[in-house]
Amino acid sequence: MNKSSSKKIAVCGSNEILSDFVNSTSEQIGFEIGKRNGILLCGGMGGVMEAASRGAKKSNGITVGILPTLNKTDSNSFTDIIIPTSLGKLRNFFIVNLADVVIGIAGSWGTLSELSMAMNLNKKVILLANTGGAVDILINSEFKISSNTFFTAKDVNTAIDEAFFSH
């Protein structure tokens, strides 16, 4: 697959300090995206975004960070293409709108907004179970989301298979 037809996968998650499990899971997701010639889209900051970008770079993947600020130096050091916006959380719309698939890992309010927007845009949304935060709240909620674009993955391999090989 050439890069121009590569699948664009948004990884949405917290900018906070991560547990070792969430950090390694995010890095594995990024690694697998790069390994399959996918393009990783994210908010370009720390936490899940940085770990996923680091993983993608380990497999020679392409990373795109859409920053909430105008300052390119706010991006993590694993971002190839830095897009400063000055839009704050409004940049979340661009992250998910540009993606073919959205993967949610842990997260808080910003992640929840990205996942909600992605579902409203009928993007495939994959929630990585047992990562905590907004993702596990959605998975375990009594509020049932009626959408054929919503998928819960029990592990990295299931998430990646769903992102790359299903419709």
pLDDT tens digits, one per residue of 123-141: 999 999 999 999 998 888 8
pLDDT score at 147: 62
pTM score, two decimals?
A: 0.94
pLDDT score at 158: 96
Structure tokens at 15: 């900018």
d(CA 21, CA 43): 20
d(CA 18, CA 79): 19
pLDDT score at 1: 47
pLDDT score at 143: 74
Calculate the CA 135 to chain-centre distance.
12
pLDDT score at 117: 95
Domains contained in the chain, CATH given: 3-165 (3.40.50.450)
Largest CA distance in the chain: 42
d(CA 24, CA 18): 9
pLDDT tens digit string along 63-87?
Answer: 999 999 999 999 999 999 999 999 9
Structure tokens at 118: 């992605």
Residues lower than pLDDT 50 in the chain: 1
Nearest to 158 by CA among 42, 28, 52: 28
Q: Which distant-in-sequence residues (6+ apart) come within 8 Å of 13 by Cβ?
A: 22, 26, 47, 48, 49, 52, 104, 105, 106, 107, 111, 131, 133, 135
